[in-house]
Each structure stands twice: as C-alpha cells, then as structure tokens.
Amino acid sequence: MPSVLITGSGRGIGVELARQYAAADWTVYATLRNTDRAAALLAIQGDVKVLELDVADPESITTLAGRMAGTPIDLLINNAGIYGPRGLGLGGLSYGDWEQVLAVNTLGPVRMVEAFLEHLRAGEQKKIAAITSKMGSIAENTSGANYIYRSSKAALNATMKSVALDLKGEGFSVAIIHPGWVRTDMGGPNALIEPRQSVQGMRRVIEAATPATTGRFYNYDGTEIPW
Ligand SMILES: NC(=O)c1ccc[n+]([C@@H]2O[C@H](COP(=O)([O-])OP(=O)(O)OC[C@H]3O[C@@H](n4cnc5c(N)ncnc54)[C@H](OP(=O)(O)O)[C@@H]3O)[C@@H](O)[C@H]2O)c1
C-alpha cells in the first residue's frame, strides 16, 4: 500500500486528507502539533499513524525524520499553514507575526522536504504536494493588502518550483495546489466549498502529477493558476 505523510492533519483540510487517503487504503502518517488533540484522526478507520510534528520547530522535524528513518514515504503533503493577523495594512504591519507565518508556511515545507528526502527517495511514487493559496499568486493580486500571508505563499511557490526542478531528474513530481476557498477555521463559514470537495479535487491533481508536469501551480479542480 502507498504511504502519505501529512502535516497539520488534526483539523481542517489536513484531517480530511487523512480521512480520504485512509479510505483509499493508503498508510497515513498523520502529523499534528499536539497529539492530545487527535480525536478526529483516531476516529478514522484504516491505517492511520498519529505522530507529533511542529513544522515551525526544526528539532521537531529532524526528530520525526529520525524516528521514521528507513520508512519509505510515497507522498509528502505540506498542508500545515497559518494566516497570521488579519487586517494589518501599511504602517501597521507586525514583523514578529510575519516571521512566524514565514516559519510555518515557507520554511517549514522546505525543511520537511530536506528532512524527508531519503524517505521519499525510498518511496515508489516520489511525490510532493504543497498546499499553497491563490493569495500567493502575484499575477492574480488585484486587491493588494494581506502582505504577510500573500508573501508566505508566494515564497512557498518559489521554493517548491525549485524543489520540482531540482528533483525532476530523480523522477519526482511536485504539485503546488490551491485548495479552493474551503470551510475550515481558516476559510471561515462563508467559504465556497467543504473540505471533502477540496480534497477530492486535490487528490485527483496529485494522482495525475508526473515528472513531465512537475512544478505547476494548480487550483484544486485541476486548472492552472498564473504565478
Ligand atoms: N481554508 C481555505 O480557504 C484555504 C485557502 C487557501 C489555502 N489554504 C491553505 O490550506 C492549508 C490548510 O488550511 P485549513 O483551511 O485546513 O486551515 P486550519 O483549519 O486553520 O488548519 C490549519 C492546520 O495547520 C496546522 N498548523 C498550524 N501551525 C502549525 C505548525 N507550526 N506545525 C504543524 N501544524 C501546524 C494546524 O494545527 P493546530 O491544530 O495545531 O493549530 C491545523 O491543523 C493551509 O496551508 C492554508 O494556508 C486554505
């Protein structure tokens, strides 16, 4: 059975990713910051292993990678993300919060790729998915503001594009995916789609990913988003 390692899988899109991959008979390494909050994961039927991981903490990443040494991973999904404070404009930006958002949304995913590269090389599928946001598209930024979140996802996109190109020769596929506007704690109650629909779409995008199409920026429905 293939295996997937998911970050931030205790709630929102992450727990739905764990649910759907488990239902499809994958081995799911479901990671979250606080394993005391794993009730939703523990309720999932299937081969789900709950593991502690804080992607903003380099030691937490290397500890988990060490614990999992020798375990092949087919697919890494960098899902964990934070928005940071909302409504801050020029003159009122919070640089401390900005650094924290970059640590989770940008540095975390790159550290994960570095730390788990050998596990992924040992896997058959050799796939990486980054859950980004359309807010990280510079081409589609027509409304300004949101400096912190936008820059963290634009930088995530830039780094994952390099990961895609650097690992293409080894047969890796990297998919950079906007999940849609999804009803979660982050997306809020007015969001357009449920996690179920978002994850169904993203799973199709990930399944279709090949080294020939690596490093593209997709919407959850498979259409491409301009950088
Ligand atoms: N919802 C949307 O409309 C939307 C749109 C575009 C992009 N996205 C992206 O989709 C991804 C998932 O978002 P969501 O809507 O599911 O958000 P969410 O409901 O707020 O969940 C965020 C998840 O990230 C985890 N997380 C935060 N900081 C972490 C850290 N340092 N280490 C490990 N995990 C951490 C959270 O864990 P805790 O429970 O421990 O806090 C939680 O599981 C994010 O990357 C987000 O930017 C979402």
Query: What is 64-118 written as a DSSP string?
Result: HHHHTTT---SEEEE------SSS--TT---HHHHHHHHIIIIIHHHHHHHHTHH
Query: How many angstroms separate the Cα of 9 from the Cα of each of 18, 41, 79, 219?
Result: 7, 8, 8, 20
> Which stretches of the chain score pLDDT less than 50?
none
What sections of 103-168 are H helices per DSSP? 108-115, 117-122, 147-167
CA dihedral 185→188→194→196, nearest 10 degrees, is: -20
Residue type, 227: W
Best of 59, 140, 182, 186 to mutate for ligand 1, by most ligand atoms within 8 A of CB?
Answer: 186
Q: Please give the pLDDT value at position 83.
A: 98
pLDDT in tens, 42-96: 999 999 999 999 999 999 999 999 999 999 999 999 999 999 999 999 999 999 9
User: pTM value?
Assistant: 0.99
Q: How far is the CA of 69 from the centre of ligand 1 (A)?
A: 26
Distances from the Cα of 136 to the Cαs of 147, 153, 226, 227, in angstroms? 10, 5, 10, 8
Q: Determine the residue of 7, 9, 13 to mutate for testing ligand 1's pocket, defined as the one with the most ligand atoms within 8 A of the Cβ atom.
A: 13
Q: Which pLDDT belongs to residue 91?
A: 96
The sheet carrying 3-6 orders its strands as: 48-52, 27-32, 3-6, 75-78, 127-131, 173-178, 216-219
CATH number for the domain formed by residue range(s) 3-219:
3.40.50.720
Whole-number Å distance, alpha carbon 144 to ligand 1 midpoint, is 22
**Closest to 140 in 3D by CA, of 216, 221, 227:** 227
Residue 224, strand partner residues: 218
> What pLDDT score was predicted for residue 2?
98
Query: What residues line ligand 1, using a CB cutoff of 6 Å?
Result: 7-8, 10-14, 32-34, 53-56, 79-82, 104, 131, 133, 178-179, 181-182, 184-187, 191
